[in-house]
């Protein structure tokens, strides 16, 4: 029962966050999107390496 309550709260929070970002979020130009996409894969790679190190040490 507690799991269902937690899932319900998370679903409501997700719904609220999506609606707020649709209203308040601003449109990004293509050049801004390209500059942001340059950072995504290196950051994912760094986080994977850090997680691997953390799991080997801990």
Digit-coded pLDDT (tens) for 20-43 = 888 887 888 899 889 889 999 999
Domain range for 13 is 2-25+32-57
pLDDT tens for each residue of 44-53 = 999 999 999 9
3-class secondary structure, 6: helix
Q: Which residues of 19-34 are buried (b: 16+ CB within 10 A; e: fewer)?
A: eeeeeeeeeeeeeeee
Tell me the C-alpha to C-alpha distance, in Å, between residue 23 and each of 2, 16, 36. 32, 11, 21
- pTM: predicted TM-score of the whole model, two decimal places: 0.50
Query: How many structural domains is the chain composed of?
Result: 1
pLDDT at residue number 48: 97
Helices within the chain (DSSP H only): 2-24, 30-57
């Amino acid at each position: 029962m507690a799991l269902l309550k937690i899932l319900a709260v998370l679903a409501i929070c997700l719904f609220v966050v999506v609606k707020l970002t649709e209203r308040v979020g601003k449109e990004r130009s293509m050049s801004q999107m390209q500059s942001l996409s340059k950072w995504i894969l290196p950051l994912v790679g760094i986080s994977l390496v850090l997680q691997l190190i953390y799991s080997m040490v801990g």
